[in-house]
Amino acid sequence: MRTQKTQEKAGFGSKIGFILAAAGSAVGLGNIWRFPYLAAKYGGGIFLLVYLILAVTFGFALMLTEITIGRRTGKSVMGAYTAMDKRFRPLGWLAGAIPVIIMPYYCVIGGWVLKYLVVFLTGSGKAAADNSSFFSNFIGHSWSPLLFFAIFLLITGSVVMLGVQKGVEKVSKILMPLLLVLIVGIAIYTMTLPGAIQGLEYYIKPDLSAFSIKTVVAAMGQLFYSMSLAMGIMITYGSYMRKEDHIENSVRQIEVFDTVVAFLAGMIIVPAVFVFSGGDSSALNAGPSLMFITLPNVFSDMLGGQIVGTVFFLLVSLAALTSSISLMETVVSMLEERFHLKRIPACCTATGCAFLIGLLSVFGYSIWSDFTIFG
Ligand code: PFF
C-alpha cells in the first residue's frame, strides 16, 4: 500500500537528475563563502583534513540515513518521521521548521548576490569596490535590497512551481555542470596571478599549531550546513528518488561534488585575498563582508577583474539558487502533504510567507535597524 502511494508521487526522472538536484542543494553559499574563510581561520590543511574525515564518516552516514528515510517512507519531512514511529513526530516538526526559517534569509542573501552580479555585469564593479560604503549603502537602502530579494524569491518559486521533474531536476541538470565549468575556470585563472602560489600554500599546508577542538567543531558545523543535513531537504529529495537507483553510490557522488566545489572555492578566494592583502591572513576573517566588500576589491584590482567578478557572482547566484530551490521544495512538499494543497497554491503560499518573513531580514538593515527584541 505504502509502495503504491510512493510510486504515485511525482519524482525525479533519472538517477543523474536526483544526484545533480541534491548536489545543487548541497553546493551553495556555504561552499563558496563559508568554507574558504573557515579553512583559512582554522589552520588551512588541517581543517581540510578534519573536514574530509568527517565528511566520509558522519556526513556520509547522515546523508545516507536521510535519503533512505525519505525514499522508504515517500513522505515530506514531517510525515516521514511520524511514519517511522509516532514518537518521532516532534522531530519531524522540528526538522520541518528549519527550512521555513532559513529560506527567507537565504533568499535575502541571494538577492544581495544578484545585485552584485548586476553591478559587475553593467561594468560598475570597480566603482562599487572603490566606494567603501557601497555595501552598507545598498543593504541600508529603502527599496533596492527588497527588490533583489523579491526577484530571487520569485525565480526560486517559479522553478519549484514547475514541479520536481520539469522544474527542480531540469534546472539542476543545466546549472550544475555550468557551475562546475565556471568554478574550474576561475580557479585556473586565480592560480596564474602573481603570488597566488603562496596563498595556495597557506590554504592547503596544515598548520598544526592552529588545531584544537574548535577546528573539529567548526568542521562539523560546516558539514551540516554544506551538506544540507538535519533540515529535511535530503528526506524530501529522497522521497522523490526512483526505487531502482542505488543510494550509496548517489551519496558518494553528491559528497564528491559538494567537497570539490568547496575546495575549489577556497582555491579561488584564499589566494586571491592573500595576494590582495599583501599576505595578511586576517583579511580572510571578514565574515559576510568577505564576499561583498573584500572580494569586489580583489576583482577590481585584477587584470580582467570585471569579467572575473561577473563570472564569480554568476557562479554564486546559481549555487544559491539551486539551494534555495531545495529549501522551498521541502516547504512545498509539507504544504502539499499536510494541507492537501496542489503545487501552485502550495508554491504561492510558501513564496508569500517567505516574502513576509524575509522582510525582517531586509528591513533589519535599514528602516527597522533600531528595532530590537529584549534589547
Ligand atoms: N547547503 C547549502 C549551502 O551550503 O549553502 C544550502 C543550505 C541549506 C545552507 C541550509 C544552510 C542551510 F541551513
From the CB of 231, is ligand 1 less than 6 Å away? yes
pLDDT for the residue numbered 301: 83
From the CB of 275, is ligand 1 less than 6 Å away? no
Ligand 1 center from residue 127 Cα (angstroms): 31
* pLDDT tens sequence across 313-345: 999 999 999 999 999 999 999 999 999 999 999
Mean pLDDT calculated for residue range 364-373: 87
Checking if the pLDDT of 174 tops 80, the result is yes
Read off the pLDDT band of 4 (50, 70, 90): very low
Which residue among 106, 227, 322, 325 is best mutated to probe the pocket of ligand 1, counting the most ligand atoms within 8 A of its Cβ? 106
From the CB of 28, is ligand 1 less than 6 Å away? yes
From the CB of 29, is ligand 1 less than 6 Å away? yes
* pLDDT tens sequence across 40-59: 888 889 999 999 999 999 99
Mean pLDDT calculated for residue range 23-28: 97
From the CB of 239, is ligand 1 less than 6 Å away? no
pLDDT for the residue numbered 3: 45
Mean pLDDT calculated for residue range 33-43: 88
Residue whose CA is closest, atom 9 of ligand 1? 225
Looking from the CA of residue 102, the nearest atom of ligand 1 is 13
Q: Cell triple for residue 160?
A: 519549484
Checking if the pLDDT of 2 tops 50, the result is no
Mean pLDDT calculated for residue range 16-33: 96
What 8-state DSSP symbol labels residue 74? -
Residue whose CA is closest, atom 12 of ligand 1? 225
Ligand 1 center from residue 64 Cα (angstroms): 17
